[in-house]
Amino acid sequence: MNLQQNQLSKIFINSMGLTMLLSAGTLFILSMDGWQPNIQESDFTVALIAIEIVFSLMILAALGKAGASKSVLAIIGTVFVLWFAASYALLSQGFYANADIPQLAFVLGVVIPVVIGFVAKQLWSPLTKAVDAMSTKSFLLLQFMRAAFGVLFFFTATLPVWFQYTGGFGDIAAGFGAFLGLYYLYKNPDNERQAIIRGNALGILDFIVVLSLGTLVVLRDSAPDIMFLLIPLYVVPLFILLHIFSLQRLSKINQKNNSKIID
């Protein structure tokens, strides 16, 4: 049974890597040929919302697999819905475009959910137990979804072209980094520490670069209330929390290794 599961895992992981490489290569070739997205913003919004819903359900599924009860999942799911609805409503009403300091409003829109999520994980024991019980494999599989959102950069005409390339390929690289961490974990199941570091490094670097450029350059003069901003206002805080919680596993691994040495 374990042999069959290992074979299926190998096929799945290799398929993920091949799909990502082909997608990234295709986008790169198209972009070099001057390809521009031919999609209406309304269609883009529908696709974006659909992918964000799928991603949210993936997080709930991972928490459920880690032992979260149905009531806990219902509460978290309700928070997700309210958070997403609030982000959508603010963009629809032109909140960020009309803010006195658009950059500050945008930064707070990203940072506040991260702080709330981090504090909730520390203080709400059911969430603490579920997140702590999540495996590194689960974290990396969720972080792999960065690639899907990276592809979306190339299907909106509302961003500067240079930022499409920077953010799009950056997110695809972050997803590929998570894949490399997952592949390393498959090959070296006893070295979870290295898998975590490899799986998170590119994603964290991408956030530092893209969020800095987005805030200081793209939003320097104005903050257009476009539906693309649902990514940084809803998805990005979730990915940041995934990075934080994934890296927190390093301390537990160190404690486990130290206890083995003492024994």
pLDDT tens digits for range 100-141: 877 888 889 999 999 999 999 999 999 999 999 999 999 999
Residue 102, CB-side half-sphere exposure with 13 Å CA sphere:
19
Q: What is the pTM of this model?
A: 0.84
> Do residues 178 and 144 lie in contact, with contact meaning Cβ atoms separated by under 8 Å?
yes
pLDDT at position 40 over 70: no
74 vs 76: CA distance, rounded Å: 6
- Domain edges within the chain: 2-262
138 vs 246: CA distance, rounded Å: 9
pLDDT tens digits for range 17-32: 445 555 545 545 545 5
Helix intervals (H) in 93-235 = 102-123, 125-133, 136-143, 146-152, 161-187, 192-213, 230
pLDDT tens digits for range 161-208: 888 888 889 999 999 999 999 999 989 988 999 999 999 999 999 999
For residue 148, give every residue at least 6 positions away whose Cβ sits within 8 Å of its Cβ, in sequence order, or none: 51, 55, 175
